[in-house]
Chains A and B, each alone.
Chain A
Amino acid sequence: MKIEAEKIDDILVLTPCDPVIDASSAADFKAQLVTWIQEDNTRILLDLSFIEFIDSSGLGAIISLLKLVAGKGDISLCGIREQVMSLFKLTRMDRIFRFYTSSTEALEAMKAGDKWQGAGDRRQGAGDRRQSGREQGAGDRRQDAGDRRRGAGD
């Protein structure tokens, strides 16, 4: 898979040029991303403007990108088409990335160091969750997933 790379300040802009990231190309996609990160690129903007379709392997590759830079940098995405965004929403991956309409907007935000731009709704939703205490419940629930499997009798 062809990925164009451009370094702007300390931000690496990666633009996959194929229209599809699926099972046949995800492994190669992931391998290239890993290579870039191993070259000490920790601030990455993934420009998905050319992507028309991505399947679960493609999404998995993007998640692994996030895991690789976790704590050391940040990943942002831009240029997501509606069909692709619906898959991010389906998987709830839309909640772990920052999304921008264009690379210009993304670069401005990343340079400004603004950690919370993007969908206004999500900001309000997240605020609510923090205030309502559901956040704690959600954290507990993750740990309790095993407990709950034992059912109500416990």
Chain B
Amino acid sequence: MIRVEYFYNFGIFVTNCFFITLLTIAYWRTPNMDYNALEPLGNDPNSLRDSLLKHLRYSLGKEFDNKTIRDVYLALTLSLRDRLLEKLLETEARYQAADAKRLYYLSMEFLIGRSLGINLTNLNIFEACRTALMDMGINLEEVREQETDAALGNGGLGRLAACFLDSLATLDYPGFGYGIHYEYGLFRQEIDNGYQKEKPDHWLSKAGPFQIERTDESCIIPLYGRIEHGLDLNGNYNPMWMDWRVILGVPHDIPIVGYGARTVNYLRLYAAKPSSDFDIQIFNAGDYFRAVEQKIKSETVSKILYPSDTVNTGKELRLVQEYFLVACSLKDIIRRYLKTHQGFDGFPDKVNIQMNDTHPALAVAELMRILVDENAMEWEPAWNITQKTLAYTNHTLLSEALEKWPVGLLEHVLPRHLQIIYEINHRFLGEIAALWPGDTDRLSRMSLIEEGAEKQVRMAHLAIIGSHSVNGVSALHTELIKTSLVPDFFARWPERFNNKTNGITQRRWLLKSNPLLADLLNETVGSEWITDLYRLRDLESFASDPAFQERFRKIKQANKEHLGKIIYQTTRLRINPDSLFDIHAKRIHEYKRQLLNVMHIIHEYLCIIEDGHEPVVPKTYIFAGKAAPGYWAAKQIIKLIHNVGDVIHKDKRVKNKLKVVFIPDYRVSLAEKIIPAAEVSEQISTAGTEASGTGNMKFALNGALTIGTLDGANVEMLEEVGEDNIYIFGLKTCEVQKMKIDGTYRPLDYYHEHDSIRRVMDAFWDNRFCLHEPGLFRWLYHHILEKGDYYFHLADFLSYSQMHETIYADYLQTPVWNRKSILNVARMGKFSSDRSITEYAREIWGLTQVH
């Protein structure tokens, strides 16, 4: 007989078998989870709308019905950031798989502007986003206006860096930007009674959440201290850097997406924080305020961008900023390199570092310090690695802009680096002495140390000596570097010197900022120009086509009307949209000669009211630009522009044929509105002063005709667009140089010989434009007539005026003008930053695209 307990045990056995079987099946059927692989985010209107609504609720804690337009901007930015980060991680994985060589672009300035629009453009979701928002009753343009510019730069140098990042990503190059996370960007400019007033630009308080703080990748940076001279265990001299203070560099990453969204690189900006919240000892001693003072002092390193774009301030804080950038960047670069590589022998094969001007030139000494001090490398191999890794871009020919630091200051802030600089100099001069025996003048000229009442370190020399490549930024500039700026270095290392003409990104400066023109181009010649600007050459066959010209002209007119509204909003001046828009927009500086432009305007005004001349073309002269706060002459020129404008506008004899406008607070987002409306672009620097210019390229790409000197990239623009399609005037570089060397330039001669010049100069003396502030502009009379007119205003005045007459005559022939304008657009291919970056990648960095 079968017992009950047998059935019970059998039941348990079967149940156990059942569960064991289930578990086994479950184990074998469950795939190993890859937590890195998530469903990619959608870019259609529905997906974008969902993202936005989710961020509104879960990131901002807002219901849709309670949202503000700013909430929408923040939620939209967060939605885009999700997509950017997704691509950034994919890009990094691709780079790692390829063990790609990486380029790190070090710059004290990145003039990024606004990011929302360019991110939408490059992600190719502009229209999808517009639709998604429209479906919710929201206007994308209103949302975009919520964004503030990230003005972490002064002018061309900073904007070049930003354009380069766009091109690096678009071309699928592993290229990254390293800079400083300034709390305050370039000041906001307000105008009060014609005078510039600077206001702080606390951009962070309004910045969108595109950036990500990476506190886990912070680095400790030592500064100050002293050298303790000692001997090592072998009795060799061993300098020890002691008693330094430290600050913490906290990185913030801004994703940079290339057009087509295949590649997202990053711009890493370092913010300075104190190493600990308080100096505990001071705090414990009861001196709370001194403890806080130390904290505040550390944080000032990244507090504010220095607002001068040509003159060296010589300030200690600026030196500290420069070292902070270099030290944080190199630490991070080396950390990344050593994650996947052993030893430094292969470092230059995997890393190249471009120094944007001499501001990061301390990278030469810092990299040597890291290799020799921290990694116990011998000097020669370390120097070999340093030179192969670093490259230098020069941006200026003005001697006052060449950076020098007092030896005493360097010794105080970076004592070990000064020792290293001495050692570099010692070995370098030894080489030079061997090559040119007995030539002590050459040694003196080339030395890293400049003699004088206060010895200075020549940072350009350090950068050149420590780099395998030195480039200028236009063909003319590079020639002048070789022949007059540093000819001794060219004689020593001719192979290092090369030209890389500047460029601009057509994505921001045409596709995004001039959508009407971009659409016309896409319709006419296709959209390949967006990633290959040379394709605009196909437009040439339409240059004389009346139908195409009409559409082209209408777009220009629409842009002018749009700018007219902005001018009215910001200045309360009404301008005639049918007048010729002649625009001079750039930093205010004597070498850029806004003064020459104003002198010509005064001349035109006097021709009307004193000669009864009737202008053939009504004109609106538009100025925009900031002056460095300490640059008195530049600020006086801003005042002059306003005063001249006021007098002209009130004079009924002018009959509104002439208007002068100064649009305040020139910045990237304003440039995007001004440039598409321009018909004449003023690029009138004294020949031999402007290294390249990039505003010249932006205006021409949008159909403006250039009146300019043969300076910087204007020379190459002439070659590309043809002499019929550009208005070149004035002295050439060689002529200016000759007159300077021979001392043959006498402004008084021009004053006495030419009525038109005399009349303009007398107007400065006679208070015509400063009735209520007599004598205000007499300094101009003295400055030009008695102090030598350093920038040759009078020498170029007549040819400048005559060229304007030619321009007006052409303007009246609409088909001729339109053809020239279209040909400018068609022939700007060379001036894309894509071309510049391709050349840098091929000839300097040895970089490979990683698709």
Contacts and interface: CB of A to CB of B under 8 A. Distances in A.
A60 to B, nearest CB: 6
Contact of A91 (B241, B275, B425): B241
A135 B228 contact: no
Contacts of A92: 232, 238-241, 373
A69 B242 CA distance: 19
B235 interface: yes
A126 B232 contact: yes
Contacts of B426: 141, 148
Interface in B814-850: none
B242 A63 contact: yes
Interface stretch (B86-94, B374-382, B387-395): B374-382
Contacts of B423: 141
A122 B376 CA distance: 7
B449 interface: yes
B333 to A, nearest CB: 16
Given A116-B233, A153-B451, A56 B222 contact: yes
B60 interface: no
B243 interface: yes
B281 interface: yes
B244 interface: yes
B670 interface: no
A63 B228 contact: yes
Contacts of A130: 234, 236
A67 to B, nearest CB: 9
Contacts of B244: 56
B521 to A, nearest CB: 55
Given A23-B279, A56-B244, A141 B374 contact: no
A10 interface: no
Contacts of A22: 280
A143 to B, nearest CB: 9
Given A24-B284, A63-B240, A145-B419, A135 B235 contact: yes
Nearest to B456: A151
Contacts of B237: 135, 138-139, 141-142
Contacts of A95: 232-233, 238, 376
Nearest to A55: B246
Contacts of A30: none
Given A135-B235, A145-B419, A24 B242 contact: no
Nearest to A134: B379
Contacts of A145: 419, 422
Contacts of B447: 151-153
A6 interface: no
A84 B238 CA distance: 19
A103 to B, nearest CB: 20
B280 A23 contact: yes
Contacts of A138: 236-238
B378 A128 contact: yes
A121 interface: yes
B215 interface: no
A101 B262 CA distance: 48
A149 B373 contact: no
Contact residues of B: prevailing secondary structure: mixed
Given A24-B284, A145-B422, A151-B447, A89 B375 contact: yes
A89 B241 CA distance: 10
Contacts of A150: 455
Nearest to A90: B374
Interface residues of B, number: 47
A93 B238 CA distance: 8
A148 B230 CA distance: 18
Given A90-B373, A153-B451, A126 B233 contact: yes
Contacts of B373: 89-92
B736 interface: no
Contacts of A129: 234, 236, 378
Interface residues of A, number: 43
A132 B380 CA distance: 11
A113 interface: no
Contact of A151 (B241, B375, B419, B455): B455
B451 A56 contact: no
A125 B371 CA distance: 13
Contacts of A135: 234-237
B411 to A, nearest CB: 8
Contacts of B451: 151, 153
Nearest to B279: A23
A115 B234 CA distance: 11
B440 interface: yes
B480 interface: no
Contacts of B17: none
A125 B229 contact: no
Given A24-B280, A89-B374, A125-B378, A139 B236 contact: yes
Contacts of B229: 142
A23 B426 CA distance: 37
A126 B222 contact: no
Interface in A1-44: 22-24
A130 B228 CA distance: 22
A15 B312 CA distance: 50
B429 interface: yes
Given A23-B281, A24-B280, A121-B376, A149 B234 contact: no
Nearest to B377: A125
A99 to B, nearest CB: 11
Contacts of A24: 280-281, 284
A90 B241 contact: yes
A149 B455 contact: yes
Nearest to B280: A24
Nearest to A98: B233
B320 interface: no
B407 interface: yes
A96 B239 contact: no
Given A56-B222, A116-B233, A145-B422, A152 B443 contact: yes
Nearest to B408: A149
B157 to A, nearest CB: 30
B420 to A, nearest CB: 11
Interface of B: 222, 225, 228-246, 275, 279-281, 284, 373-376, 378-379, 407, 419, 422-423, 425-426, 429, 440, 443-444, 447, 449-451, 455
Given A91-B242, A96-B240, A138-B238, 12 more contacts: A22-B280, A23-B279, A57-B243, A60-B242, A93-B240, A116-B233, A130-B236, A132-B378, A141-B423, A145-B422, A149-B407, A153-B440
Leading 8 A-B pairs by shortest Cβ distance: A138-B237, A151-B449, A152-B447, A95-B232, A126-B234, A89-B374, A148-B422, A24-B281
6 contacts: A22-B280, A56-B225, A92-B239, A95-B238, A141-B423, A145-B419
